[in-house]
Chains A and B, each alone.
Chain A
């Protein structure tokens, strides 16, 4: 049994009085890539939002020895969980560089922040060319890069990625996923990936959870999930 970086038990989440998650349990290996699969409305985004403290929840979430269930988003971020939200959450009126600085809001080491900005530019050279542009003028792909770069500025232990491939051209998606793999290997960032594109996600991930209407219905190592007959039909489409 490997150590879990994050462990959720009996996690329920609510939008107002509507319950969206029903006792979800899962774990994320330290240094690993975990993916949440499922159809539209299965509760993938909800799970990420629950982990970040953006919803009313009940149940247990432990991250790196801390109980984070019910804590404020701002405090969860400070423990090293970076959330790249659905729709990227770009500050469109601010420049690329200001967006990156915001990613380092919780840090106080000026020199380290400046060095890290140059470091993320190595991963995302196109952002460097556009560092003084308003982020809203970037293309969708560039904004997704910016969202990931901004999350990296936190120096996170765990990154939550909500459909990073959404709306991107296939070539860009491949580039993006190659970068995610490098981030995982070189920077040691654990990833929790939510994807509609199950095939892509299973290629990248070590382990996978399948959500259906707010419940985990299947879990296992990614290669095994890929082989499963039902998954193949329903989510991989062959």
Chain B
């Protein structure tokens, strides 16, 4: 899809898809709006949110509205960085539907010709975005951990592969829009700002939308106990350098303060300082957190290969030459257990 001879009076637009269900657990839309603002500055562009759904009094009474600054999803997106919100509000859209939403976004994108479309890499987004990209005949980079604009004005999409052991910088040189999905927790949202103003564009539901060939029969909220470690944004990993079972247990307190999960190395699991489901390694789980704190771990390949998806690594070890220390962003030479205690104390002081 390419604009032909169009007058470029219209500012280039960066769209962010409004993935609003599961709002409290997942603020990815707000995070992407924030990043979109940074990118928009570099291309003299504007930021738009796109929302499909059906708002009723029921929604207002939902958990979503317990947020004291809540003022409706649309106003929320404006307060968090959108210059404009395209909204299609219709009873037919009360539940997410891949087929219908893909059709709506395709039509809207063909009409408005955005430069970039960003979609959160939630389970929904990861299934939705490829369909939209296919319909628009454009490229899509999945699960980006970085987005930037290069000197040529192209969106540079940084994406991992091989469990994060490799990062690739990717561009979509010619097709438009440039599309990317981004994991929650990569970018930080801009604080809610009631003074921000934006435009709401109501887009009517098009006529003649085909019936859904996939129907949702039931939906129940559950917490995903199974994948907590693999999906955690922050992981606190401990090895034998923690010293004892009792000292290792402090890592759980640290993890809780950071809203993260605890992982362990094989020797620790064998010594019964941690459960087997905490094992981070070839025989256990692969992690890809934003922040990994690694306490008293030397860095055997079976473990490190499962951690290479971590964006920022803080390693603590008495031995400055341990492999984990050499491959960390920050290598702290100290007793792991003592450092853990000191960090817990300081975090308790600062976290309000």
Partners in one complex: no
